[in-house]
Amino acid sequence: MPQFDFGNVFWPQIFWLAAAFALLYFGVVRLTLPKLGKVMDAREASISGDLEAAKAAKETADAVNEAYQAEMNQSREAARSAIAEAKAKAAKSTETRLAKAGAKSDATLAEAEARIAKAVAKAETEIANAAAVNAQAIVAKLTGVEPKLDAAKSAVAARN
Amino acid sequence: MANPMQQFSVETIKPLEVAGYDVSFTNSSLWMFLALAAISVFLFVGTARPQLVPGRWQAATEYLYDFIRKMLDENVGPEGRRYAPLIFSIFIFVLACNLLGMIPWVGSFTPTSHVTVTFGLAMIVFVTVCVVGVWRHGLHFMTLFWPKGANPFLGAFVFSIEFLSFLMRPFTLAIRLFANMTAGHVMLKVFGTFVVTLGSFGALPYVFGILPLAVVVALTALEVLIAVVQAYVFALLASLYLNDAVNLH
């Protein structure tokens, strides 16, 4: 194999490899790659900057949305409590009016009952009187002696 | 019939001698400089006017450079980026030499099929690793070979093995690439001669050459793959060795 004929192939190849590689590294790669690296880094930076800006914008939007939601909740709460208050007020006023009306009707009822009781008592007395007078008359007719009215009354009362 | 080893013979183009050493310009030198020229065109055109939104050439060069940078990020860490130009140079030089050697032409030559060339490249890696290791860690670099928490006797034993394997690295690195390239080219040449011998069968010319020709086509595709993969392996191992020097463990 010619590869192992080091006496003839070693130094010429090592020398020209060193020359070619030195040229490649210092003359080509060192001149070109840093430019490329700079551009790639700039691109990376600009992309990550854009991403960061987008992230910040999203965060702002989220915060605004959150504030909006909170305000909405607050006003909803306020509306709810206003409704509850109004309802309670209405219920209370109805109750008081009902209570007032109830008291008035109770009073009227009581008055009417009292009047009825009076009338009943009066009627009863009149009936008793009439019965006593009748009894007086009956006794007078039967016995010829007219009893006293008071006695007849008590007798009628005793019969009841 | 041509010897399949003939493709590796180094032919002097212009005899030269410096300080008693033979440094003739040979076909090997010529193909190294062709590789250098191809890389130069690729890189100078690709980075002529670098733009934030890259064109085709710039995208291609960036793709390769980014590939090397990512490899260093993964294997060495943030410290590795400063060695990206060196690893990139090694990678693209090996890749260009491998691929130019795949040109199916009688005058083409693959410098990386010579163990001298691959050894030279491996020594660049090895010397860089030693210099970086000693420069960053001083004599502490030697702890790379010392197993942590071992007793002194066992430690000394492991140390000698580790140190020896460290010294073997340039050889394994060189021989891996050289053997892959040589074996592939020999195989291509062998099947190439089959095409001629079987195809010149007197009574039925050409017909029997078809099968070995198909094999050569398939092998060429495989060899192109190997050319790329071996350049990658060389650069990957170089970055792994560099990791030892930069981070110790």
Q: What is the pTM of this model?
A: 0.75
Extract the tokens encoding B148.
């942590």
> Which residues of chain B have a CB within 8 Å of the CB of A20?
29, 32-33, 35-36, 93
Task: Say whether residue B8 is in contact with chain A using an 8 A CB cutoff.
Answer: yes
Task: Say whether residue A38 is in contact with chain B using an 8 A CB cutoff.
Answer: yes
CB contact under 8 Å between B32 and A20, yes or no, is: yes
Confidence band, pLDDT 50/70/90 cuts, at residue A160? low
Task: Say whether residue A26 is in contact with chain B using an 8 A CB cutoff.
Answer: no
Q: Residue ranges of the domains in chain A? A: 2-113
CB contact under 8 Å between A15 and B5, yes or no, is: no
- Cα–Cα separations (whole angstroms), residue A55 to A41, A42, A44, B100: 21, 19, 16, 48
CB contact under 8 Å between B111 and A18, yes or no, is: no
Task: Say whether residue B20 is in contact with chain A using an 8 A CB cutoff.
Answer: no
Interface of B with A in 149-188 (CB under 8 A): 178, 182
Task: Say whether residue B143 is in contact with chain A using an 8 A CB cutoff.
Answer: no
Contact by Cβ (8 Å): B223, B188: yes
Residue B122 has pLDDT above 70, yes or no: yes
**Structure confidence by residue, pLDDT tens digits, A19-31:** 999 999 998 889 9
> Which residues of chain A have a CB within 8 Å of the CB of B32?
16-17, 20
Residues B4-16 have a mean pLDDT of 87
Residues B106-132 have a mean pLDDT of 94
Residues B95-115 have a mean pLDDT of 92
Which residue among B21, B24, B93 places its CB closest to the CB of A24?
Answer: B93
CA B181 to chain centre: 9
> Residue B178 half-sphere exposure, CB side, CA atoms within 13 Å?
20
**Bigger pLDDT: B132 or B105?**
B132
Residue B97 has pLDDT above 90, yes or no: yes
Strand (E) or helix (H) holding A111: helix A30-143
**Structure confidence by residue, pLDDT tens digits, B11-61:** 888 888 888 888 899 999 999 999 999 999 999 998 888 888 888 999 999
Which residue among A14, A20, A43 places its CB closest to the CB of B33?
Answer: A20
Residue B1 has pLDDT above 70, yes or no: no
Q: How many CB atoms lie within 10 A of CB B175?
A: 16
Give the residue from A22, A26, A4, A32 showing the smallest Cα distance to B33.
A22
Task: Say whether residue B40 is in contact with chain A using an 8 A CB cutoff.
Answer: yes
Q: How many CB atoms lie within 10 A of CB A96?
A: 10
User: Helices B210-247 and B56-75 sit at what angle, rounded to 10 degrees?
Assistant: 50
CB contact under 8 Å between A11 and B22, yes or no, is: yes
Which residue among B24, B28, B88 places its CB closest to the CB of A33?
Answer: B88
Task: Say whether residue A28 is in contact with chain B using an 8 A CB cutoff.
Answer: yes
- The reported pLDDT for the residue numbered B27 is 92
- Cα–Cα separations (whole angstroms), residue A150 to A131, B46, B188: 12, 147, 162
What span, in angstroms and rounded, lies between the C-alpha atoms of B100 and B117? 15
**Structure confidence by residue, pLDDT tens digits, B188-211:** 999 988 888 888 877 777 888 888
